[in-house]
Amino acid sequence: METGMFHKAEKYAVSKRALTEETSTFLMQNFGCSRKVYNLYTDWLYKRLEEAGYEGGNRLPQLKLPEVREFKKAYPYLKEADSLGLANAKIAFEQAMKHFNEDCDHKTYTKTALKRAKSGTEALSFRGLTGMPKFHSRAHGDLSYTTNCQYPSEGNSLKQPTVRLEGNRLYLPKWKDGIELIVHRPLPEGAKIGNVTMSMDPGGTFYAAVEYEYEKRRDATLRDAVKAGDSETLKDLKILGLDYSQEAFYVDSEGRKANYPHYYREAEAKLAKEQRKLSRMEKGSKNWEKQLKKVQKTGKKIQNQRKDWICKEALKLSRKYDAVAVEDLDMRQMAMEAHLGKKAYDNGFGIFRTVLAHKLEEKGSVLVKVDRYYPSTKKCHCCGACVSEIALGVREWICPECGTLLDRDENAAINIRDEGRRIFAEYFLKQMEEEEKTKMRAAVRSEYRHRKKKKE
């Protein structure tokens, strides 16, 4: 056994019974101020791009963003909000710019922008490019802000952490009275809070998502075997292969199907009915706002059902197997396909892989991602022969070499499992090396911040 450091988050609902008008006003004020700062940065960016004559086709020009304090001079009410919440709004904007520069092609327009251009409402411009930072709207549910926990150190005069969860009461910067939460699962002993995100759902319920770091003992058998190159221990590895399935969520290497209940499909008729009612109402009216909340509440329920099922399924697999192998599929690209979009988003297989990876990491293992171009479907798991092509509609095929009748998904899952077993040691070793590099970079950043504070 060894001790490892893990990051996790718990989401707690704010007790409605103890929620006062002052607390509600404080939270709404911080939501609004964080959104305001983000929108001010967006407006600032648009003006700079217009001045530079930017039309897309390449990365955003190098721009130095103004400090938050400059906005506070123009809008004094921002001083009443949590300064760390406003700083995180700036960080979120920087991440949005980074996403546009690194993950987007800088020339594709959103469907909304194309529709507006077609109807003559608004001409195409850089504002409609996919991934370009957009204005945040209160009407679309952008009701949240994030604050960080600061701890006492030589560089400050703090006597206790600025964010604390004592019992069922959460203490935040600029709100010393604390907020009562419904704590269904307490934080582990010795947990160190990193940040807290306060939010409000369409139903009017406030939530606190507490991100924290904690120590946990885990089985070091596999990690030690990989480091030592112990092939005997790895030979008996209990590994499962999963092949993504639009209908069943996944098919495993033992022939089982996940049989995911398609929550969106089940609620689609009800959601469409509520949306039709909304479309017939005058936008901005009281009835429209009430109906919008009903639509949002229905969508939120679907999301919660999906997350609940995914977490339980990931926990079940992590407890039963030493390791799990999956294909490294680009789920976002798959969802963009016209005939796969709804099912891909409803399944949430990308979230499932993230949760499963975390569960296996806590156990002392790893989620092995097989290269997406590995011919798992076209390769016979019995003799290893590969066929040139298999149409998407073909669910069974006969191997031309050995004559075995193969189920498309089960065969792919077996091949993924075998490939995962073959690359397990090498893949796990790379993951551990990357983990060490991440720790070193974090330590360097922490040391740099500490020295900077000392100089100031």
Taking only the tens place, the pLDDT of each residue in 14-69 is 998 889 999 999 999 999 999 999 999 999 999 999 999 998 889 998 889 999 99
Residue 242 to residue 249: CA distance in whole angstroms: 10
Beta bridge partners of 2: 218
- Give the confidence band of 454 by pLDDT, cuts at 50, 70, 90: low
Interval 160-185 mean pLDDT = 92
Q: Where are the alpha helices (DSSP H) in 184-285?
A: 221-228, 231-235, 263-279
- What's the confidence (pLDDT) of residue 456? 55
Residue 101 to residue 126: CA distance in whole angstroms: 13
Residue pair 413/251 in contact (Cβ under 8 Å)? The answer is yes
- Give the confidence band of 75 by pLDDT, cuts at 50, 70, 90: very high
Residue pair 187/212 in contact (Cβ under 8 Å)? The answer is yes
pLDDT tens-digit map of 276-323: 999 999 988 999 989 988 898 888 889 889 999 999 999 999 999 999
Q: In terms of pTM, does the model score above 0.85? A: no
Residue 433 to residue 22: CA distance in whole angstroms: 49
Unique residue bearing structure tokens 């399924």: 313
Q: Which helix (H) or strand (E) holds 251?
A: strand 249-252
Interval 218-225 mean pLDDT = 84
Q: Which helix (H) or strand (E) holds 196?
A: strand 192-200
- Give the confidence band of 437 by pLDDT, cuts at 50, 70, 90: confident
pLDDT tens-digit map of 361-414: 988 899 999 998 999 988 998 888 888 888 878 888 888 888 888 888 999 999
| Three-class DSSP category at 147 | strand
Residue pair 178/26 in contact (Cβ under 8 Å)? The answer is no
- Measured in whole angstroms, the distance separating CA 193 from the mean position of its chain's CA atoms is 19
From residue 131, how far is each of 96, 98, 127, 298, 346 by CA, in Å?
8, 10, 9, 27, 22
pLDDT tens-digit map of 133-172: 999 988 776 799 999 999 887 767 788 899 999 999 999 9
- What's the confidence (pLDDT) of residue 424? 93
Does the pLDDT at position 229 exceed 90? no
Interval 61-90 mean pLDDT = 94
pLDDT tens-digit map of 268-278: 999 999 999 99
pLDDT tens-digit map of 86-114: 999 999 999 999 999 998 999 999 988 99
| Three-class DSSP category at 109 | strand
Burial of 250 (0-12, 13-18, 19+ CB in 10 A): buried
- What's the confidence (pLDDT) of residue 216? 83
| Three-class DSSP category at 198 | strand
DSSP letter, residue 413:
H
Per-residue tokens: 327: 């294909």
The C-alpha angle 140, 146, 147, rounded to 5 degrees, equals 160
Q: Which helix (H) or strand (E) holds 440?
A: helix 408-455
Residue pair 248/38 in contact (Cβ under 8 Å)? The answer is no
- What's the confidence (pLDDT) of residue 218? 82
Does the pLDDT at position 179 exceed 60? yes
Beta bridge partners of 368: 325
Per-residue tokens: 60: 């955003």
Does the pLDDT at position 427 exceed 70? yes
Interval 80-91 mean pLDDT = 95
Going 291 to 295 to 298 to 300, the CA torsion angle's sign is negative
Residue 436 to residue 425: CA distance in whole angstroms: 17
Per-residue tokens: 449: 């911040």
Of 15 and 448, more confident: 15
